[in-house]
Amino acid sequence: MKFDTPATTNPIDQLKVVGKATNRIDGPLKTTGTAPYAYERHDVAPNAAYGCIVGSAVAKGRINAIDQARAKAAPGVIAIVTWENAGKLGKGSLNTAKLLGGPNVEHYHQAIALVVAETFEQARAAAALVKVDYAPGDGAFDLAKAKESTDRKTDDRNSTVGDFSTAFANAEVKLDETYTTPDQSHSMMEPFATTAAWDDGKLTIWTSNQMIAWNTRDLAATLDMPKEKVHVMSPYIGGGFGAKLFLRADAVLAALGARMARRPVKVAMQRPMMANNATHRPATIQRIRLGATKQGKLTAIAHESWSGNLVGGKPENAVQQTQLLYAGENRLTGTRLAMLDLPEGNAMRAPGEAPGLMALEIAIDELAEKLGMDPIALRVLNDTQVDPAKPERKFSQRRLIDCMRIGAEKFGWSQRSAKPANRREGRWWIGTGMAAAFRNNIVIKSGARVRLDGQGRITVETDMTDIGTGSYTIIAQTAAEMMGVPLERVSVKLGDSAFPVSSGSGGQFGGNSSTAGVYAACVKLREAIAQRAGLDAASASFSDGMVQAGGRSVPLSQVAANAPIEAEDFIEFGELSKTYQQSTFGAHFIEVAVDAWTAEVRVRRMLAVCASGRILNPQTARSQVIGGMTMGVGAALMEKLVVDKRLGYFVNHDLAGYEVPVHADIPHQEVIFLDETDPVSSPMKAKGVGELGICGVGAAVANAVYNATGVRVRDYPVTLDKLLPKMPSLAI
C-alpha cells in the first residue's frame, strides 16, 4: 500500500479497540518470568556451551601476541575464538568498528577473543587467563582539546538561512553561551545477549536486537555468508534505547563460538564491558547565540555543536530541533565532528534532540530573563506554523502553544516566582522550570502478514520487535479493529526474520509505522475474505466476528472453515514529508527542591503534555513517556561517563559507578495527551511519542534548579559540586 495522500475516514476511526487503555499482552509472561529471552533459550538450543568475551585492555594500538595456553588448559574449556582462527570476517554496514578486533585495536574493551566452556563460571575463569601483549598507540580522547585542534579530521555541516552574522550584530538583546553534555550509556536491564546454533551450514540466533532486518543483513556480511542462511529471532527484548539497533559483538562471537564448538553457544556481554564495548551517546559542546528585539522577537538564531567519534562514525546532530522549533529569519546551524579514539558513539533515546534541547531550552530561558519576559510567553511569541527555512512547507500538526498553556494551567505556573532564590520551605529552596519538547515524526516502510483461520482467529506475523514498548499490544489492537474481532481473538508473532520486514523499533517510528503495515495487510485480508464470502469488498464491513455487505452477514469462522485466508502487504510512505513538516511537540514542567546546605537536588513534581497524533494505547504510551521523563532526570542530575583522557576509556563502566535514577529519585509523574489526529502521518493518524518524553526534560530540570537557587549550570549533569560555590545566602 502506498501512502501518498492524507488519510480519510477508515476502520481505525471506529476506536472500538484502538485508542483504549489496554494492558500489555506480554505482561503476564514478563511478570511470571516465562517470556523467552535470548539467553534463556534452553528449549530450542539444549546443551549450550557458554562464551565469555575478552576485551582489549588498551584503547588504541596493536596486539603483538596473545597467549592462550593457560586458558586452553583450564577446566571445561572447549574453544577459544580470536581473529586468528575466526575465518574471513567482514563488517556490517552500520558498524563503525570491527566487532572482533585484532591485531589492530580500535577502542578500549573491543572484543579480541571469546572463551567457550561448559559453564559460564569456567568460561569466565579461563577468559581471565588469556594473556595479551600490546603495543599501545597514541590516541585522541579529549573532545574539548580536539575541538581546538586541527590535527584531527573534522566534518563540518552547516545550514544557513538569511544573514545570521549581520542580524546578530544588530540585535537589541543578545545571548552567546556554551553548554556541554557528557557521554552517556544506555544502561538497559538486559545485556547484549545471544544464543547461536548451526545446522547444516545455516545459522540461527536468538538475540536481543531492535532491528531484525538490519541485524540479519549485517550478521551475514560480517560472517561472509548468504543472508538467506541466517535466521534471526528476537521476540522479547529487555530494553534497548538505541543500543540494540545495531549488530553487536555478542551475536558475532556466539555464532563463531558455536561454529567452532560444534554445538549451541550463548554469550551475554559482561555488564562492566557494555559501556566501552558497545555504543554510547557522545558528549557535545554546544554554542548557542540568540538575537532578539526588546519585545522578544527572535531575529537571529545560531546553534553549533561539536561531538566526537571513531573514524567512519557520525556526529551527534544536536542542532536538528533548532532548525524547526522557533521562528526567526536569520539562522545558522552546524555540526562538527572530531575524530576520537573512544568507543563508538551512536543512537541513544532521542538522538540529537535529547542533548540538543538540553542546551537550547536553557538558552531560551536565559534570553527570557535578559528580556524580563516569562519563559512561556517568549516561546509563544516565537512560535511558527511553517518550516522557518521553507515557509511554503507547513507543519501537518503543531500544537506547541496548546501544550505549554495547558501544562502551565495544570502545573500552577502562575504561582511561580520569576525571581530566582525567592521561595524557601525549611532547609529547601524550591524552584519551577519548564522546557518545550520536540521530536521529528519519522515513518519507515513496514510489512506484515495476517491470517484468518477456521476458528475465526486472526494471526499477525511481522519482524517488528517489542523492546518493552507494547508492540504486541498495539499491533493486536490494530488487527482487532480492522477485522472486527475481540482483542483476545488476535495472536501476534514478532521478532523473526522469517516474517515480513517491518520498520523495527527505534526513533519513535516503530509504533506508528508497524501498525500502519498491519493496517495495509488487513486491508488486503478484508478484500480476500469478502471475495471468498461472495460479498462486495468495497462496501464490506467487519464487526462482532462477522463480515457484512449488501444485507448479508457471514461469520468469519465460516468463511475460513475449509482453508485459512492469508494476506501480506506493507505500508510505503510517499512524498507527503516534502509537502508537510511532520513533528511531535510537548511541554515539560518540573518542580525541584534544592537543599540549602548541601545543594542536593530532589525532583518533586513532573508533568508532560504531549501532542503526538492519535494515541493508539494511552496506557502503554504513558509508560513510554514517563520512562523518557525518568531518563531525562538522569541526564540532568547524574548520568555521565567519565573519560580517562590518558588511557582512553570510560572509567565508571558499570551500574555501581554510572548512576541512573531509581524509584526514590522520581516522584509522581503526570502525562496529558492532547486529543488530536494527524492524517498526514499514516493511516493510523498517529505519530511517535516514546522519545518525546525525554526531549526537553534535562533543560526543564536545570531551569527549575536555577529558579530555586539562582545558580545557572551549563555543564551537565547538574551536580552539587557545581551548585555549592554559588548557593544563595541562608540569611533570609
366 touches 712 (CB < 8 A): yes
434 touches 703 (CB < 8 A): yes
For residue 665, the SS3 value is: helix
C-alpha dist (Å) from residue 436 to 560, 627, 692:
51, 18, 10
| Helix 510-533 with 471-483: angle, nearest 10 deg | 30
- Of 371, 345, 217, residue with least CA distance to 281: 345
C-alpha dist (Å) from residue 725 to 88, 599, 712, 722, 729:
57, 10, 12, 7, 11
Query: Which cell numbers hold the place of 175?
Result: 545571548
Question: Which amino acid, 576?
Answer: L
Q: What share of the chain is helix, strand, coil (3-state, %, to 5)?
A: 30, 30, 40
Question: What span, in angstroms and rounded, lies between the C-alpha atoms of 472 and 24?
Answer: 7
Active site residue 691: yes
Catalytic residue among 304, 361, 670, 691: 691
100 touches 89 (CB < 8 A): yes
Find the helix or strand (DSSP H, E) in which 254 lies: helix 249-261
CB atoms within 10 A of CB 213: 17
For residue 253, the SS3 value is: helix
Across-strand partners of 542? 547
Question: Which amino acid, 9?
Answer: T
Tracing cell 509505522 back to the chain, one arrives at 513
C-alpha dist (Å) from residue 551 to 484, 528, 545:
17, 19, 16
Question: What span, in angstroms and rounded, lies between the C-alpha atoms of 641 and 658?
Answer: 7
Indicate the burial class of 71 (C-beta count within 10 angstroms; 0-12, 13-18, 19 or more).
buried
Question: What span, in angstroms and rounded, lies between the C-alpha atoms of 182 and 283?
Answer: 4
Question: What span, in angstroms and rounded, lies between the C-alpha atoms of 385 and 89?
Answer: 50
Question: What span, in angstroms and rounded, lies between the C-alpha atoms of 438 and 586?
Answer: 6
* Alpha carbons within 13 A on the beta-carbon side of 162: 20
DSSP 600-661: -EEEEEEEEEEE-BB-S-HHHHHHHHHHHHHHHHHHHHT--PPEETTTTEES--STTTS---
DSSP 318-384: TTGGGGTSS--SEEEEEEEEEE--SSPB---SSTTHHHHHHHHHHHHHHHHHHHT--HHHHHHHT--
Name the residues annotated as catalytic.
Answer: 691
